[in-house]
Amino acid sequence: MLSDEETQEIKQKLFFHIESNFPEEQIENAKQQVESMNSEQLENFLDRNKLIKEKDSEKPEKDECVFCSIASDKIKSIKIGENKDAIAVLEINPISKGHSIIIPRKHVNKASKSVLSLAKKVSKNIKEKFSPKSVEISNSKLFGHEIINVLPVYNKENFNSERKPTRIEELEKIKEELEKKKEVIKKKSKIEEIKNFWLPKRIP
């Protein structure tokens, strides 16, 4: 049985999936159906839609969690980075602009150095593009899957601050900002300036 925290987390991911893939006229109805489900109904829904791995009697594995589904692209996300061991996606219920989560590709209890390296890379990019006061990095575990939150702090935000659902279009814009390369303006040397300085021809 899913816990209350797991139920809410899965529902939020499903809302994101619905907004990404459903026709506009069906979105609200689909979201209402998901919202009305209790934990048991939600678990059955995930099972029917093959969002949970079938258990093998010879290989008793854990059910696939929502983060495994995101890592394997079964649930759509706004990806902003990746390496061989993890993906970085924008949080759909962010605390602040650029709030991201780093998800190990494998269902693990502890993040590897490679996963932490991606978190630091994302943090550095957020600092360069959005200029927050600081960027906090924190490990957490849901469904037995360790993830890393990367939280930009602009005022007094912390990991207990209010989360606000964000539309896909807004997250796509944030992704574009993070991927935009800074324009490097090269200063001409004094010699180039002198060479390019126009002088009239001498009159004999």
User: How confident is the model over 49-76, as pLDDT tens digits?
Assistant: 655 544 443 443 445 677 888 888 888 8
Domain that holds residue 124: 4-180
Burial readout 147-180 (b: 16 or more C-beta within 10 A, e: otherwise): bbbbbbeeeebeeeeeeeebeeeebeebbeebee
pLDDT tens per residue across span 71-103: 888 888 899 999 999 999 999 889 999 999 999
In-domain check, residue 203: no
Residue 84 has a pLDDT of 92
Instruction: Tell me the average pLDDT of the chain.
Output: 79
* 32 DSSP assignment: H
3-state secondary structure of 130: helix
Domain at 91, CATH number: 3.30.428.10
Phi, psi of 139 (to 5 degrees): -85, 145
What are 98's two structure tokens?
């650029």
In-domain check, residue 150: yes
Residue 183 has a pLDDT of 57
Task: Check if the beta carbon of residue 138 is closer than 8 Å to that of residue 148.
Answer: yes
Say which range, 25-34, 37-46, 84-93, 193-202, has the weakest mean pLDDT. 193-202
In-domain check, residue 189: no
In-domain check, residue 193: no
In-domain check, residue 194: no
Q: With a threshold of 0.85, does the pTM exceed it? A: no
pLDDT tens per residue across span 135-179: 999 988 777 788 999 999 999 999 889 888 888 899 999 999 999
Residue 146 has a pLDDT of 86
Q: How many domains are contained in the chain?
A: 1
Cβ within 8 Å of residue 76, ≥6 positions away: 16, 17, 20, 21
Pick the residue with more confidence: 27 or 162? 162
